[in-house]
Amino acid sequence: MARDTRERILDISLGMFNAQGEPNVTTNHIADELGISPGNLYYHFRNKDDIVEHLFARYEARIDGVLRLPDDRAPTLEDIWLQLHRVFESLWSYRFLYRDLVDILARNRKLKLRFARIMQRASTSATELLHGLVRAGIMRASADEIRALAENILLIATFWMNFNAVRGGKAEADEADLNCGIHQVMMLVAPFLRDAERFHLNTLAATYVR
């Protein structure tokens, strides 16, 4: 029962953070929304940062699952696009983190270190996938090019929502923006592919643009 309340607090908080922006939601708002007393909420979580940390742990577990590569065979292009999709879906599910990323990490040293570790794992995973494509003859790129490409993929995935916000997009990101993010990453990889795959990818990528 207590465990249920705990999970419900996290679910409702995630929804409110995503919809309203984490800085605009207080523990009182969350308790109100759940129809419980602030005291009951504080029984489960010390403060809002405690809630944010637990949501971050959920996010971390999810992204770690997504970043796992098939270990029984060489990765294919389809593996990349599937992983790319699942990464962007994970970012979208926890978009409050990404919208105020710089702020949230500046405020919480523990999360800053954990986020840096996620980035490290994502970088390793992207680099391995890309080297796999080169070994399979699907892609042509030097080790330097792969290193730079993996960094650019990470940067674009991480700041895609912020980029839309600062260039004057709609106040609220939606799933069409997400597809544009996936499109931008595909277009990063495209020029390194063999002609047949590059052509196929450009056709596929076009379906992602509004």
Query: Is 179 one of the binding residues for a copy of itself (CB under 8 A)?
Result: no
Cα distance between residue 103 and residue 24, in whole Å:
13
Select from 39-47, 58-66, 83-91, 116-124 the region that touches a copy of itself (CB under 8 A).
116-124
- The neighbouring-strand residues paired with 193 are 139
Query: Is 177 one of the binding residues for a copy of itself (CB under 8 A)?
Result: no
Select from 55-63, 65-73, 86-94, 115-123 the region that touches a copy of itself (CB under 8 A).
115-123
Helix (H, G, I), strand (E, B) or coil at 61: helix
Q: Which residues contact 3 (CB under 8 A, 6 or more apart)?
A: none
Minimum distance from CB of 152 to a copy of itself (Å)?
6
Q: Which of 113, 136, 143, 176 binds a copy of itself (CB under 8 A)?
A: 113
Cα distance between residue 42 and residue 169, in whole Å:
37
Question: 119 — phi, psi (to 5°)?
Answer: -60, -40
Minimum distance from CB of 60 to a copy of itself (Å)?
14
Query: Is 81 one of the binding residues for a copy of itself (CB under 8 A)?
Result: no
Measured from the CB atom, is 48 or 99 closer to a copy of itself?
A: 99
Query: Is 205 one of the binding residues for a copy of itself (CB under 8 A)?
Result: yes
Q: Which of 82, 143, 148, 176 binds a copy of itself (CB under 8 A)?
A: 148
Cα distance between residue 149 and residue 143, in whole Å:
10
Asked whether 138 and 197 are in contact (CB, 8 A), the reply is yes
Cα distance between residue 75 and residue 73, in whole Å:
6
Minimum distance from CB of 27 to a copy of itself (Å)?
22
Cα distance between residue 72 and residue 92, in whole Å:
29
Asked whether 182 and 188 are in contact (CB, 8 A), the reply is no
Query: Is 166 one of the binding residues for a copy of itself (CB under 8 A)?
Result: yes
**What percent helix, strand, coil does the chain show, rounded to 5?**
80, 0, 20
Q: Which of 64, 190, 200, 204 binds a copy of itself (CB under 8 A)?
A: 190
Q: Which residues of the chain form contacts with a copy of itself (CB under 8 A)?
A: 99-103, 105-106, 112-113, 115-117, 119-120, 141-142, 144-145, 148-149, 151-152, 154-156, 158-160, 162-163, 165-168, 183-184, 187-188, 190-192, 202, 205-206
